[in-house]
Structure 1
């Protein structure tokens, strides 16, 4: 379970769409406070999903080859196949969308003007909305195997939540304590992500998909 949560948590932490959206939130007027609202809502939703799974299982992992265990592995397999399909689709469509890049950049000024009017509640609403829900669901299916009778499971779950949110927390802390430097470096990060977003999405989707497919097949056939 721990290895699965580490890989899924890393994939969530570096998911390009979430990172880009958070950089945009930090760059607007009052961005530090709005970023905090984004993170708190993100974490609340994340923890609520895990809590719902643990309440369903009672904190006890299902027996191997039991219907709940098989269902959890099947869910991860389906998500893995979906990620592979998504990654392949994005790879195939990357060249077709190359000509639209200029139009996206031209509209960035209007987007920033709208984001400047973003309220704290709206920033909080963006947190759960922009989570990579396929990966979150894969993590939830993995947490089915958590055994809350052992302290190590609590540590693993805490580490998973922290890892999945680590990129957002790092940017929030950086912006809070070094706003001038953060503005420049996060601007560069945003520019890099926007110019490499398709490649990053393909890489994250394919790596996470391959991992989930291989692990779930091993669990279903072992």
Structure 2
């Protein structure tokens, strides 16, 4: 379970769409406060998902080869296949529509998004966080947490580390902007420019790596 959560947590942390949106939130007026409520809402959503799974399982992993265990592996297999399919779709679409025109369209849309995010309230920033989470990856994490055993202290540490790891990129940008706003904004502008031109490649890489890992892991669990 730990290895799965580490990989999924890293994938969530670097997922380009949520990182790009958070960069724009930080760049807005009162961006530090908006970024803070964004992170708190993001974490609250994570905790709510984990709590729902643990309440369902009672904090006890299903017995090996039992129907719940098989169902959990099948769900992870479906999620992994979905991530692979989505990554392949983005790859094919990028090859068909890539080029200067696609880059220009992305630039224009991000400019409009920047203008909209500059005017959002703190409440809206909090509401955006759950919407911008990569829910395919969050679902993969939830399916993995089914195997959590709350009778062991290490499980609590693993779940805490998973939440922090999945939020680490946002936390790092928030802290950097708070204590070094001038240099942070300059670096965040460069990060946003890079993401604007490499977003599709990054999404394809993240979804394919996690998807293939989940597919292989789930097949192994189902046949062993």
By the TM > 0.5 criterion, same fold?
yes
Quote the residue 2:73 is aligned against: 73
TM-score normalized with structure 1 length: 0.97
Quote the residue 1:127 is aligned against: 129
Q: Given that residues 103 and 196 in structure 2 are in contact (C-alpha distance below 8 angstroms), is that contact kept between their aligned partners in structure 1?
A: no
Unmatched 5+ residue regions in structure 1?
none
Shift of the 56–40 alpha-carbon distance from structure 1 to 2, 3 Å rule, reads same
Instruction: Report the CA distance between 1:146 and its aligned residue.
Output: 0.6
How far apart in 2 are the matches of 1:2 and 1:107? 38
Q: Given that residues 26 and 32 in structure 2 are in contact (C-alpha distance below 8 angstroms), is that contact kept between their aligned partners in structure 1?
A: yes
How far apart in 1 are the matches of 2:6 and 2:155? 13
Unmatched 5+ residue regions in structure 2?
none
Instruction: Report the CA distance between 1:95 and its aligned residue.
Output: 2.5
Aligned residues: 222
How far apart in 1 are the matches of 2:220 and 2:106? 42
How far apart in 2 are the matches of 1:218 and 1:110? 46
Alignment of 1:100-119 (within 5 A): 100-119=102-121
Q: Structure 1 residue runs of 4+, over 4 Å off?
A: none
How far apart in 2 are the matches of 1:57 and 1:208? 24
Aligned-CA RMSD value: 1.0
Shift of the 153–56 alpha-carbon distance from structure 1 to 2, 3 Å rule, reads same
Q: Given that residues 19 and 170 in structure 2 are in contact (C-alpha distance below 8 angstroms), is that contact kept between their aligned partners in structure 1?
A: yes
How far apart in 1 are the matches of 2:50 and 2:71? 17
Instruction: Report the CA distance between 1:108 and its aligned residue.
Output: 4.0
1:219 aligns with 2:224: no
Q: Given that residues 91 and 204 in structure 2 are in contact (C-alpha distance below 8 angstroms), is that contact kept between their aligned partners in structure 1?
A: yes
Shift of the 17–148 alpha-carbon distance from structure 1 to 2, 3 Å rule, reads same
How far apart in 1 are the matches of 2:111 and 2:47? 35
CA offsets per residue over residues 184-212 of structure 1, 9 Å max, x none? Answer: 00110010011100100110011000100
CA offsets per residue over residues 126-183 of structure 1, 9 Å max, x none? Answer: 1000001011011011101111001000000000001000000000000111100100
